[in-house]
Structure 1
């Protein structure tokens, strides 16, 4: 199927690894032109060397919580690509702590990253997106936003705020022809989980270790997801073929959600 993304100009934050990188690769294969950022631009460039041979790619080091840094990146991307048709707000992390273990500064940092990490980028790209004939924003969030866990108390609260904000943005931006949708992920096999595996000192290999966690968390499919499995719904939401979908959420968590 042709997703009609050839030549479309898409911006992705947190693009040096995981879901951001997988989405960039999928979009490049569809012929999209890309603006990619991460905190470490050298790492980003090393990760996407093959993409530069496939399509136009703009890269930058960017702190998504710093509005000036975001504005500079987005302005450069719009100038070099000649506009903007879509964006993927993907920068994020999880803070594996109970509420009692989390400092006030860490709480502020989590809300800053989750809320302003998306809002800064959307504000900076809003005018360019409004000039597109099929503008789409995809916010990568988590099922955690709808069913909190004590081990991720602050992250869950921040992600719930982001989900609520996403729905408000969908209403605010619809008159400008900009769609806003969310993809809610469950447990995904990314660098964060591999670091936790190394820190665990487990005698099992990663697949066995992660399968045990999947069972403990009640994931129906019994395993973690992959970055590509998340990148596909993100990519399809950017497609003009999804032109009547806004304010929606897609759960991609292997059946881990417990709410109706």
Structure 2
């Protein structure tokens, strides 16, 4: 199926690994131009195969407003505009509330909220000039279904989901669609690191299956980054042109809310 993304310019944050990298690669396969940012630009360029055209790789911390502005304006200077944004940069803090400092709470809230808002604000005037502007915010099922072992991350993600829904209205006046993709447990580098730290005799597949069972994942496994990327790219497509304010779960059936 042609998703009608050929020639579109898409900003992807956190594009050097995991879901961001899988999304960038899928967009490129659809013929889109990808402006990817990450804090480690060398890693980003290597991940995207040396960053040949149509890739624009930029070093950027999404919490640095000046760096975000440079990322967006350099993309516009290169390709003339922005058609879509994927806000993907982020991390999870594995800790109960009692194990979390006030500084860590502030850091989580700042990253989740401003990590998306800085990019969207910088891109908004350019998105407003696109024929089919779209934003996808990568969030988590934790935003609706808190996890005590990720207490502050759950709260910060809930704030981001609420903000994203508000953006649907405020950006809608410029025809900018805003949707969320809510992740469950996705097989990315952080899980590989946790497996190594677990020092277990189980294989990775066995260890992951045990965690999936413990978390109540109906499909009994972690998700793949490419499975998330497909949901993101589908929402960016003009074929989803009447979808805004939606939240799509990609969690293998872990969600228990209605």
Same fold, judged at TM 0.5 (above) = yes
Q: CA deviation at 1:205?
A: 1.0
Q: Structure 1: state its 5+ residue gaps.
A: none
Equivalent-residue separation in structure 1 for 2:8 and 2:73 (angstroms): 17
Give, in whole Å, the separation in 2 of the partners of 1:180 and 1:50: 31
1:45 paired residue number:
45
Q: CA deviation at 1:50?
A: 6.2
User: What CA deviation, in whole Å up to 9, does each residue of 1:55-103 have, x standing for no partner?
Assistant: 5111111010111111111111111111000010000000000001011
Q: Distance in 2 between matches of 1:3 and 1:149?
A: 35
Could you say what the CA RMSD is over the residues aligned between the two structures, in angstroms? 0.8
Could you tell me which residue of structure 2 aligns to residue 88 of structure 1?
Answer: 86
Q: Would you say the 8 A contact 1:11–1:35 is kept in 2?
A: yes
Question: How many aligned residue pairs are there?
Answer: 258
Q: Deviations over 1:101-146 (max 9, x none)?
A: 0111111110111000000000000000000010000000000000
Q: Which 4+ residue blocks in structure 1 deviate beyond 3 angstroms?
A: none
Please tell me whether the aligned partners of residues 143 and 257 of structure 1 are also in contact (alpha carbons under 8 angstroms).
Answer: yes
Q: How does 1:127-142 map to 2 (within 5 A)?
A: 127-142=125-140
Query: In the alignment, which residue of structure 1 is the partner of 2:230?
Result: 232
TM-score normalised by length of structure 1: 0.98
Aligned to 1:104: 102
Matches within 5 A, 1:113-192: 113-192=111-190
Partner Cα distance (2:239, 2:97) in 1: 42
SS in 2 for 1:213: helix
Equivalent residue, structure 2, for 1:35: 35
What CA distance in whole angstroms lies between the structure 2 residues aligned with 1:149 and 1:181?
A: 23
Find the partner of 1:218 among 200, 216, 223: 216
The whole-number CA distance in structure 2 between the counterparts of 1:50 and 1:41 is: 11
Residue 21 of structure 2: aligned partner: 21
What TM-score, normalized by structure 2, do the two folds share? 0.99
Conserved? CA contact 1:28–1:51, under 8 Å: no
Unmatched tracts of structure 2, length 5 or more: none
CA contact (8 A) 2:10 2:84 kept: yes
